Amino acid sequence: MIELEDHDHAKCVARILTHAETLCQKRGVRLTEQRRKVLAILADSHVPASAYDILDKINRQGNKLAPVSIYRALDFLTAQGLIHRIESRNGYVACTHAHESNECGETGSCDPENVTVFLLCDQCGQAGEFHSEALQGLLDKIAATERFRANAPILEISGTCAQCQDSSIEPLEAHEA
Ligand SMILES: [Zn+2]
Ligand SMILES: [Zn+2]
Ligand SMILES: [Zn+2]
């Protein structure tokens, strides 16, 4: 679980990248330079980025990459559970799930059978990732009753984050104007 307000983001980015390296090594898959670059761009912000946002950033860094390479990298990172696709924002975020904790078990990334909850802020655009045992239990119960097998369920909830609620009296744009 990640607290978006007041967190050490540099530590957050470092943790995501270190975890990706360890995990890929453990699984015997290659975190190529391209894949790492795409992950680093996603890790840089908690606001979901589209494939074209990523392409744009890579080009501005002076690297030329074809859109198809971005999509391939995104497919790889999604398959490894290192990033998540946020349908309602048409973008991707790096997984910030606390992977060093026991709840990840052997897999070391978000279990595709477990529900991931995203709290999406309509104002700053940030996505907070959460896992809830209570919610998981409820979903398992519903799935069992319906004999339904959920495939990487993601719950996307939009609203206003704590930070934006606190600053709503004096919006940021007022300072910029
Ligand atoms: Zn962060
Ligand atoms: Zn995750
Ligand atoms: Zn916000």
Read off the pLDDT of residues 31-50 as tens digits, 9 standing for 90 and up. 999 999 999 999 999 999 99
Query: What does the pLDDT average to over 138-148?
Result: 94
Report which bound ligand comes closest to the CA of 16. Answer: 1
Higher pLDDT, 137 or 3: 137
124 is in an annotated binding site: yes
Q: Does domain 9-176 have CATH number 1.10.10.10?
A: yes
CA of 128 to the centre of ligand 1 (A): 10
**Cα–Cα distance, 67 to 55 (Å, whole number):** 7
Position 104 confidence tier, pLDDT thresholds 50, 70, 90 = very low
104 labelled as ligand-binding? no
Query: How sure is the predictor about 101, in pLDDT bands with cuts at 50, 70 and 90?
Result: very low
Structure tokens that stand for 3 in this block? 């607290």
**Is residue 121 part of an annotated ligand binding site?**
yes
**Residue 68 CB coordination number (10 Å):** 9
> pLDDT band at residue 62, thresholds of 50, 70 and 90?
confident
Rounded percentage of the chain residues whose pLDDT exceeds 90: 63
pLDDT confidence of residue 177: 46
Contacts (Cβ under 8 Å, ≥6 apart) of 52: 67
Tokens, residue 55: 């392409």
Annotated binding residue 164 = yes
Residues 74 and 60: their CA atoms lie apart, in Å, by: 19
| Of 20-24, 109-113, 144-148, the least confident | 109-113
pLDDT at 103: 43
- Distance (Å) from CA 145 to ligand 1 centroid: 38
Nearest ligand, measured from the Cα of 164: 3
Tell me which residue of 67, 170, 165, 90 sits closest to 123, measured CA to CA: 165
Q: Is the dihedral of CA 160, 98, 131, 32 positive or negative?
A: positive
